[in-house]
Structure formats: structure tokens, C-alpha cells
Amino acid sequence: MANLRYTNTAILLHWVMALLILVTWSIAIVVSDMPLSPARIAGFSWHKWLGTTVFFLVLVRIVWRATHRVPKLNVTMPAWQERAMQFTHLALYFLMLVIPLIGWLMSSAKGYTVNYFGFFDLPDLLEKDKALGHLLKEVHEVLANGLMVLVGLHVLAALKHQWIDKDGLLSRMSFCRHKSNER
């Protein structure tokens, strides 16, 4: 019988990254409107630390996905939905990789070295350039908000499959084994 679930490692990476991305984005939203203060600096530090963690984890996730078979899709859906699912997954991976990279580039251009939880500094990727830093900030924000839109669509699609289609698709990314996934 074909495996219909992702591996436990893939499932763990999925949910940890989902949480990290949501928290990282939320921190940026909260601290971006704060006046300069220790709380704002601490918030941006956490944003950078978690964003860097997302970057490292997406690299691990890409390697894992490249070396492990994706479980068989054992549901029937219109071809356009399957294409939309494939496009959304590719776009999610692309944005999870590019957004932290642009944040790193932005920090470099603004003259701020990215430090990872006090353990080590990431190398500056660009020379200090205030105008480029501002442009990269805008790109970083637009892409991050686009990622949140895609995440929202991803969640809505999963809930549609769970509650309306009742096809067990959500169980592919769950630690619990469901009878609907034992077809």
C-alpha cells in the first residue's frame, strides 16, 4: 500500500516553519510602528533571529523534499485545483527562501550585520547603501505580505478539503493517522 502521509520529519518541519513564519511576520507588524526603544530593537532582533531560522530550515526542508518521495495524492480533484496546489507549493517554497534572503540583504545594505542569537554573525552581503536598503525593505514587506496571503489560501484550501470535500487530504500533513487516510 502506498504511503499517503508525509514523513514525520516533513510534518514537523511544516508545522514548525508555519509557526515560525506566523510569529516572525507578527513581530514585524507589531514593532514596525513602535517608536525607537529597547522593545523595538528587541523585537527586530527576534524578527531577524526567527527569519534566519526560517531560512536555515527551508534549506533543510528543500533537501528533505528532494531526497524523500512525496506521498501519493489519493484524492480526486479537478485539474485546475491540482495545478493551483502545485503552483502554491512552489510559490510558498520560493517565498520562504527569498524573503529571509532579502531581509539579510536589506540589513547588509542598511549597515546592520545580522547576528544569530548571539552565536555568530552572518556575513554582510552588500556594502552599505541607504537607498538600496530602503528598496529592499519595501520588497521584503511586499513579499512577506504576499506570503501571508498564500498561507491564508493554503489554509483555506486545506480546510475546504477537510470539511467540505471530506477527502482526508489534511491528514497527509498530520501526525495522527486517520481512517480516511488508510484507503
pLDDT tens per residue, range 26-35: 999 999 999 9
**What amino acid occupies position 30?**
V
CB distance 54 to 24 below 8 Å: yes
pLDDT of residue 113: 93
Are the C-beta atoms of 9 and 172 separated by less than 8 Å? Answer: no
Q: Which amino acid is it at 91? A: A
The full set of domain ranges for the chain reads 8-181
Task: For the chain, give the percent of residues with pLDDT over 90.
Answer: 78
CB 176 within 8 A of CB 170: no
pLDDT band, residue 101 (cuts 50/70/90): very high
Per-residue pLDDT of 62-77, as tens digits, reads 999 999 988 888 788 8
Return the H-helix or E-strand segment holding 57: helix 38-67
